[in-house]
Structure 1
Amino acid sequence: MKGSSAVEAGEVVSKGIASRRVMKRGLSVMDLVLRIIAIAATFGSAVAMATSHERLPFITQFVHFRAEFDDLPSFLFFVLGNAIVCGYLVLSIVLSIFHIARTTAVKSRILLLFLDAVAMGFLTSAAAAATAIVEVAHHGNPNTNWFPICQQYNSFCERVSGTLIGSFIAVIVLLILILISAVSISRIHHHA
């Protein structure tokens, strides 16, 4: 009788260990998938903004007004910010795959947590700077005599406004990645 209860207790413990391992591996797989989503979002935002331009004729067909992303430093910062974070995310895929194989790795998770937080802050500042310019482009600022340009450059404004969506999606994904890393680290320490 005592032998069977010891076997049952051993089975319960091994099932608990197996379920924790599956949970950690599931979090690692989710980390990888979210990184791929963030790569697509930042890459798409950078490319869409970098290719945004519109030309309008003025009086004759030989004189044109133009609007291009690199006319505004905030938009240039937005493109560079998204490109840098995209590059970081591509490089971080290696550690993400490593965590699927080694669910108990702690130091590399702490490194990713820190770098993800830096990337999120950098991307948030780039997206916020571009958002401020888009807001002024759409509504102007009568107090400073800045007129809205989106009535003339409608296509340009629609495109740059759309690029912000991908960037803010990536910010949210990075926040979720930070939370996943924190949960993974706490589970590793709790069960170690």
Structure 2
Amino acid sequence: MDSKSTSHETAVNIPETESTKLKSSSAAPAATVVTTTKAIPHNPKAGLRRGVAIFDFILRLCALVFALAAATTMGTTDETLPLFTQFFQFEASYDDLPAFSYFVVANAIASAYLVLSLPLSIVCIVRPHLVGAKLLLLILDTVMVGFTTAGAAAAAAIVYLAHNGNSTTQWQSICQQFGDFCQRVSGAVVASFLAAFIFIILVVFSALALRRH
């Protein structure tokens, strides 16, 4: 009698434990997110240009004060000598001399230009890399140097004659009689020369700023 052996296969279900979960999760490659921030490089030239533009704005304010003071002082200068009769008086006024009249016009034009140039100077502070605005200011500043220097020089020659006279042409000095008149016109001439000097500084700084571009 043949005996047949039978084999039985039994499947055992092993429950998944916490350790197996950790092993399976550690076996999977971990995805990492790397965020990179790009640092913006500091540009020292931009800071230097902005500093020069701020200094330019301050100089324009100073030049405006001097030019306006020169034009106002000269334009309001008028002195009459007190005499016994009202029908015979000696009077000294700025509009009696063409040099003084030109002086007032030149400094008035310079004052108006400085007022109009202040917004453009502010634009150069906000955007210091602009070349066109700086070039325009350089050209106009050079023109104003000529205006203010010519007006101050012409007025200074008349002031010198008023103080010292001229023995060759028999021109007598009038400052002994018109003391207040001579004092005011002398102060106006000094203020105009200071405005012209500041214009020269503005031209030099504008030229250096354009050269750095």
Same fold per superposition (TM over 0.5): yes
- The residue number in structure 1 matching 2:41 is 14
Tell which structure's C-alpha radius of gyration is larger. 2
Q: Which has the higher strand share?
A: 1
Kindly indicate whether residue 191 of structure 2 is the aligned counterpart of residue 166 of structure 1.
Answer: yes
Instruction: Tell me how far 1:102 sits from its aligned partner.
Output: 1.0
Aligned residue pair count: 176
Letter in 2 for 1:35: R
Equivalent of 2:97 in 69, 72, 89: 72
Counterparts of 2:151 and 2:91, CA distance in 1:
23
Q: Which runs of 5+ in 1 are unaligned?
A: 1-9
Contact 1:42/1:166 (<8 A) preserved: yes
Regions of 4+ moved over 2 Å:
57-63
Contact 1:57/1:63 (<8 A) preserved: no
Q: Which runs of 5+ in 2 are unaligned?
A: 1-37
The one-character-per-residue Cα deviations of 1:90-136 (angstroms, maximum 9, x if unpaired) are: 11112101100111111221111111000111110000000000000
SS of equivalent residue, structure 1 residue 98: helix
Letter in 2 for 1:27: V
- The residue number in structure 2 matching 1:5 is none
- RMSD of equivalent CA atoms: 1.6
Letter in 1 for 2:167: P
Letter in 2 for 1:159: R
Identical columns (%): 44
Contact 1:85/1:123 (<8 A) preserved: yes
Contact 1:43/1:82 (<8 A) preserved: yes
Counterparts of 2:190 and 2:151, CA distance in 1:
13
What TM-score results when the alignment is normalised by the length of structure 2? 0.79
Letter in 1 for 2:192: S
Counterparts of 2:211 and 2:41, CA distance in 1:
21
Kindly indicate whether residue 152 of structure 2 is the aligned counterpart of residue 127 of structure 1.
Answer: yes
